[in-house]
Structure 1
């Protein structure tokens, strides 16, 4: 079975290739449009990914104009265009993920660095814990909650697939102390957290209350990195109403520095595992 891929990243990669090809051929946007009998706006929209679907014939004309003649490269670019038209599994949860879906980017991420201050990160949640979280907001029907849990659990596949993403988590102690879903659900969640921490591609570090003030006393965030050089890192921040993505290098750098600071403040992965184990035993003794 084919590995999941990100249509959005494939489109961005193709747009970057085309822009690079145009610049190497010494064409301005206007000159390229004029040479093809197109408007400059059409060229610009392709290069900024405003045009979501690029016809194979149009792509051939662009590659001809830019003198991209290598058959392997041309086929690779046509493959990017085809991939960009496909829909990922998350498209059926559009009402949950929104128009710019986090799983779209997670599908091809090689490294995800994430900070959470109040709850266990979504990728590490159990179904019972996630369900309790969704029940804690405004009232929604059981069918809607079930669908949200189903969508969240589907995201976890990137952690255990072949060539899984490397997940680096810094977690505030508050997330472990907050009793979500009752005693039994929290016990199961902590056991799952310890199990996931044993996987070679997952590191979990804890920021204990004793650490005091730190660089991430703000909204939770994730930094996603990709293996292709044409796919620069992006930052994802969850808000009450939406997901926000930051792509400008300066923004990404500021979040990367913040993550580095809090990672340096957090206790080690082995110390964190012992901390979670002690907390788990304490909760078990209360049964």
Structure 2
């Protein structure tokens, strides 16, 4: 079975290649449009990914104009165009993820660094914990809750697939202390955290209450990095109604610095495992 990929990242990569090709050909957007019999706006929308689908004929015409003649290069760019047209598994959960779906980027990420202050990160949640979490919010019907749980569980495949993503998580102690559902649910969630933390691609660190004020006393966030240098890192910040993505280098750098600060303040992975294990035992002893 083919590894999941990100149509959005493939489209961005193709747009970057085309922009570089035009610039190497020393053509302006207007000149390229005139040569192809198109408007400058059409060229601009392709280069900024506003145009989501590029036909084979249009792509061939652009590569011809830009003198991109290497057969392997042309085949690779056509493959990017085909991949960009595909729909990921997350497209059927649009009401859950919104127009810009986080799994679209997670599918191709090589490293994810994530901070969570109030709850266990979605990628590390058990189905029962997620269900209790959703039930604690605004009233939602049982069918919708089950769809949300299925979507959340499907995201976890990036942690255990072949060549899995490297996940670096820092959680505030409040995320483990807050009672979501019952003690049984919390005990199971703690045991699941311990199991996941033993995987070689996952690190979990705790920011204890004793640390006091720290650099991330704000919204939770994730920094996603990709193996291809043409795909720069992005930051995802979840909100009540939507997801916000930051792509400007300055924004990414500030979030990276913040993550570095809190990672330095957090206790070690082994100390965190001991803390979670003791918390699980405490929960189990009183159930």
Which band: TM-score by shorter chain? over 0.9
For 2:138, the equivalent position in structure 1 comes to 138
Deviation at 1:125, TM superposition (A): 0.1
- 1:240-275 CA-to-partner distances (Å, cap 9, x unmatched) read 111101111111111000000000000111111111
| Kept in 1: contact 2:118–2:178 (CA 8 A) | yes
Deviation at 1:280, TM superposition (A): 1.2
1:269 is aligned to 2:269:
yes
Q: Give the alignment's TM-score, normalised by structure 1.
A: 0.99
**Residue ranges of structure 2 left out of the alignment (5+ in a row):** none
For 1:189, the equivalent position in structure 2 comes to 189
- Mapped partners of 2:229, 2:26: distance in 1: 22
1:55 is aligned to 2:55:
yes
Deviation at 1:186, TM superposition (A): 0.3
- Mapped partners of 1:20, 1:200: distance in 2: 38
Paired residue secondary structure (2:79): helix
Paired residue secondary structure (2:51): coil
CA RMSD of aligned residues (A): 0.5
1:29 is aligned to 2:32:
no
- Mapped partners of 2:227, 2:239: distance in 1: 27
| Kept in 1: contact 2:184–2:283 (CA 8 A) | no
1:179 is aligned to 2:199:
no
**Residue ranges of structure 1 left out of the alignment (5+ in a row):** none
Paired residue secondary structure (1:150): helix
Q: How does 1:235-246 map to 2 (within 5 A)?
A: 235-246=235-246
Paired residue secondary structure (2:3): coil
For 1:205, the equivalent position in structure 2 comes to 205
For 1:73, the equivalent position in structure 2 comes to 73
What is the total number of aligned residue pairs between the two structures?
287
Q: Runs of 4 or more off by more than 3 Å in structure 1? A: none
- Mapped partners of 2:284, 2:229: distance in 1: 47
For 2:93, the equivalent position in structure 1 comes to 93
